[in-house]
Structure 1
Amino acid sequence: MSDSRVTNFGAGPSALPESVLQEAAKGLLNFRGTGIGIAEISHRSKEFTAVLTEVESQIRTQLDVPQTHSILFTQGGGSAQFSAVVLNLLARHRLLHPDLSDDERVLDYVVTGSWSKKAAEEARRLGGGRVNVAVDARPYSKDARSFDNIPAHDTYSFSPDSALIYYCENETVDGVEFSNDASSPASFPFHLLPQNALLPLVGDYSSSFMSRPIPRLADHAVVYAGAQKNIGPAGLTILIVRKDCIVDVDAAAKLGATPVPITMSYKTLADGNSVYNTPSVLSIYISGLVLKHSQELGGVKYYEEVNKRKADKLYAAIKEGEAKGLFKAKVKEGSGSLMNVVFDVLGEGAEAKFVSGAEARGMKAIKGHRSVGGIRISLYNAVTEEQTDTLIAYMKEFLAQ
């Protein structure tokens, strides 16, 4: 089977471990001896309920999720959460501060790339509060208009009592990522946040979830991630929600908050044990297989080390190409993503030649996002170090030609 498969460097839906796919294929025909395929089984059956429990337990154990937080499963991807986090946390803020006007409610957004920009735009569209951009990375870029950096800590300006504080940990399109090293100037400035007991901090971890530990997870109100990068097929969104943020949205609506669609309400999901409506059964099942595979290898600590080695090798190859005038890094040093590495291939027709050469060698989906162009190499968990080494060998061959 491996001879017929290519290396998928795509940004998502992304590569999955081949052993997991083989196991999932068996489950599609006969899930755990039931005689029914996993894609056909009732989402309320005891067999699928057991799967939900197992997946939740794997996430809680591997990420060390505290009991103060619930783990919920829903649909709609990160884009649906652009809306859901606003509506649920505005409802919470309304219950806490019923007498404030909408203009007095503030939503803080850290804008470091295309996805955080879209999130802030959705918050403005929904209304219910004033959007404050705590920092915008573009003025600090090389050309003063691109997302190519994580801004320095002294550029942030957070509100004293915001309804939510949003950041995107890894920007899939632009290839920038917050550092996990607290001493790095590219780390998230947790120390600058208001010193409230229960921060409304929202972390979008869609493209880095389960690739490394989440710094100060317990301080987050919500962490969310689409599954289709590191742990499963598209269709599943994972939420880690602090329990004080699972509020009665209908009670908040009576006080003037925007009504929350019932399937977007975190309380609906929590009260219904993530099966208020039919969840993404197949995606949850495959995600469980991936998480089990991850645990056997050593979990997020293992992947953190491997992903760092993969990215370091790739960035070194890009530097080598820059020295020869053939490659150009798109992100400032120190702000580069471990998951999505972006660069340009210089020279007329050179990029197309680079892409076609990679495809001829069985390496697919390396073109950059249509909005920014260039090359994007996604190094998600299932992309092995050996596959990364093969790509780098091709890059060196390309440079030598």
Structure 2
Amino acid sequence: MSRPTNFGAGPSALPESVLHQAARGLLDFNNTGIGIAEISHRSKEFTAFLADTENLIRTQLDIPQTHSVLFTQGGGSAQFSAVVLNLLARHRLLHPDRTNAERAMDYVITGSWSKKAAEEARRLGGGTVNVAVDARAYSKDGRSFDGIPTHDTYTFSPDPALIYYCENETVDGVEFSNDATSAASFPFHLLPKDTLLPLVGDHSSSFMSRPIPHLAEHAVIYAGAQKNIGPAGLTILIVRKDCLVDVDAAAKLGAVPVPLTMAYKTLADSASVYNTPAVLPIYIAGLVLKRSQELGGVKYYEEVNKRKAAKLYAVIKEGEAKGVVRAKVKEGSGSLMNVVFDVLGDGAEAKFISGAEALGMKAIKGHRYGSVGGIRVSLYNAVTEEQTDALIAYMKEFLAQ
């Protein structure tokens, strides 16, 4: 029986071979006779697997020893809070005499998720949110997230506690380009000249799909696993070691107290097993990462994902020329992972979705957030080029009709 193709934005598709491996592991993990969902997270078998999984991430992303790789829970939304609390604690230890008003938190707002992250920073307090740029101000209608702003629009603080951006906006289909010469690339050259930049990147939707530019310059990179590498319930952190600070010492100086399970130092000191981690998601992520390494790692996936996205954007252009389809993102700012567009005409969108579902193509309806709507096709690593080609063939047939 042929399985449907999951074009959903998350929880997303996983490689079928990995699902079969994971099914066996549910009954017997690494020949222990105990299933992975039952085994102790402190057993030598699981801790060895956890260390191997960390090494797979380190190797494929070329992570330097200046950074720790940590495994936690709560998804990207929990990191909206954890990033603020940990980096404000760091800033408090570095600058104990500054007032909260003097602790700037710079946010680059390019879509729904970076907007939510900035809102959480305001809610928590402890510093002042500076919007370094808001992409809506440069959109076609002044209120949509339809592109990455050009470099001349950014205003960064001279010594912020953190600089936050979301590399790929899952809802809005907007992504920073990996090409440093592109106007849609992240403006690393405009950041304060500091060897220990407090740069934070939400890479949830693109993690392990391509290399991360300027990785070593980041203070924190985080990613929810449920896009490219595993099921929901696991969050992976890459944290520079100077950000593993004593949050209790910072609290004595007036910083907002940090819950222990959200403190990066607690996670690092306990090798990510301070409390029971997301054992099953870690196991599946480890299997996915092993398969990824065998295929060629992030360089391999970058090439495949570029081809998949190029084909899809090309057929969207065809649809625009016919007046049937409308792209929602400016050319050059479109995501390789989440491609968004509208199908024009009364009832046309519903017809397009039902036709796709009849062919086993699932979860292509756009996000419910605000007025985004439309169609969203997610081309994560586990979505094959052949599955993408099948969707494009359907789209061409739809356009012809």
How many Å apart are 1:124 and its aligned residue?
A: 0.2
Counterpart for residue 23 of structure 2: 25
Residues 12-68 of structure 1: CA deviation (Å, up to 9, x unaligned)? 000000000001100001111111000000000000001110100000000000000
Counterpart for residue 387 of structure 1: 387
Counterpart for residue 118 of structure 1: 116
Q: How does 1:85-164 map to 2 (within 5 A)?
A: 85-164=83-162
Q: Within 1, Cα distance between the matches of 2:49 and 2:328?
A: 42
Q: Within 2, Cα distance between the matches of 1:261 and 1:353?
A: 49
Q: Within 1, Cα distance between the matches of 2:89 and 2:203?
A: 23
SS of match in other structure, 1:122: helix
Counterpart for residue 184 of structure 1: 182
Report the AA paired with residue 251 of structure 2.
A
Residues 109-148 of structure 1: CA deviation (Å, up to 9, x unaligned)? 0000000000000000000000000000001111111000
Report the AA paired with residue 377 of structure 1.
V
SS of match in other structure, 2:71: strand
Q: Does 1:34 align with 2:8?
A: no
Q: Within 1, Cα distance between the matches of 2:257 and 2:168?
A: 30
SS of match in other structure, 2:239: strand
Report the AA paired with residue 252 of structure 1.
A
Q: Within 2, Cα distance between the matches of 1:41 and 1:185?
A: 49
Residues 220-244 of structure 1: CA deviation (Å, up to 9, x unaligned)? 0000000000000000000000000
Q: Within 1, Cα distance between the matches of 2:30 and 2:218?
A: 36
SS of match in other structure, 1:51: helix
SS of match in other structure, 2:78: helix
Q: Within 2, Cα distance between the matches of 1:61 and 1:139?
A: 40
Which residue among 178, 199, 202 is the counterpart of 1:204?
202
Q: Does 1:396 align with 2:396?
A: yes
Q: Within 1, Cα distance between the matches of 2:334 and 2:258?
A: 36
Q: Within 1, Cα distance between the matches of 2:257 and 2:30?
A: 41
Counterpart for residue 218 of structure 1: 216
Q: Within 1, Cα distance between the matches of 2:24 and 2:17?
A: 11
Matched residues, number: 399
Q: Within 2, Cα distance between the matches of 1:23 and 1:280?
A: 18
The percent of aligned pairs where both chains have the same amino acid is: 85
SS of match in other structure, 1:43: coil
Which residue among 295, 299, 302 is the counterpart of 2:300?
302
How many Å apart are 1:4 and its aligned residue?
A: 3.5
Counterpart for residue 278 of structure 1: 276
Using structure 2 for the length normalisation, give the TM-score: 0.99
Q: Does 1:315 align with 2:313?
A: yes
SS of match in other structure, 2:275: coil
Residues 230-269 of structure 1: CA deviation (Å, up to 9, x unaligned)? 0000000000000000000000000000000110000110
Q: Within 2, Cα distance between the matches of 1:189 and 1:33?
A: 49
Report the AA paired with residue 28 of structure 1.
L
Counterpart for residue 12 of structure 1: 10
SS of match in other structure, 1:32: coil
Q: Within 2, Cα distance between the matches of 1:256 and 1:33?
A: 51
Report the AA paired with residue 72 of structure 1.
L
Please provide the CA RMSD for this pair.
0.4
Which residue among 53, 56, 78 is the counterpart of 2:54?
56
Residues 361-386 of structure 1: CA deviation (Å, up to 9, x unaligned)? 00000000012100000000000000
Q: Within 2, Cα distance between the matches of 1:5 and 1:197?
A: 49
Q: Within 1, Cα distance between the matches of 2:140 and 2:252?
A: 48
Q: Within 2, Cα distance between the matches of 1:94 and 1:144?
A: 37
SS of match in other structure, 1:376: strand
Q: Within 1, Cα distance between the matches of 2:188 and 2:102?
A: 24
Report the AA paired with residue 303 of structure 1.
Y
Report the AA paired with residue 385 of structure 2.
E
Q: Within 1, Cα distance between the matches of 2:271 and 2:55?
A: 14
Q: Within 2, Cα distance between the matches of 1:208 and 1:120?
A: 20
Q: Within 1, Cα distance between the matches of 2:231 and 2:3?
A: 17
Gaps of 5+ in 1: none
Q: Within 1, Cα distance between the matches of 2:184 and 2:74?
A: 30
SS of match in other structure, 2:129: strand
Counterpart for residue 236 of structure 2: 238
Which residue among 259, 269, 284 is the counterpart of 1:261?
259
Q: Within 2, Cα distance between the matches of 1:180 and 1:205?
A: 13
Residues 55-90 of structure 1: CA deviation (Å, up to 9, x unaligned)? 000000000000000000000000000000000000
Q: Within 2, Cα distance between the matches of 1:221 and 1:378?
A: 28
How many Å apart are 1:197 and its aligned residue?
A: 1.4
Q: Does 1:291 align with 2:309?
A: no
Residues 198-230 of structure 1: CA deviation (Å, up to 9, x unaligned)? 000000000000000000000000000000000
Q: Within 2, Cα distance between the matches of 1:220 and 1:139?
A: 27
SS of match in other structure, 1:57: helix
Counterpart for residue 69 of structure 2: 71
Q: Within 2, Cα distance between the matches of 1:39 and 1:31?
A: 9
Q: Does 1:363 align with 2:376?
A: no
Moved over 6 A (4+): none
Q: Within 2, Cα distance between the matches of 1:55 and 1:77?
A: 18
Q: Within 2, Cα distance between the matches of 1:50 and 1:365?
A: 36
Report the AA paired with residue 380 of structure 1.
Y
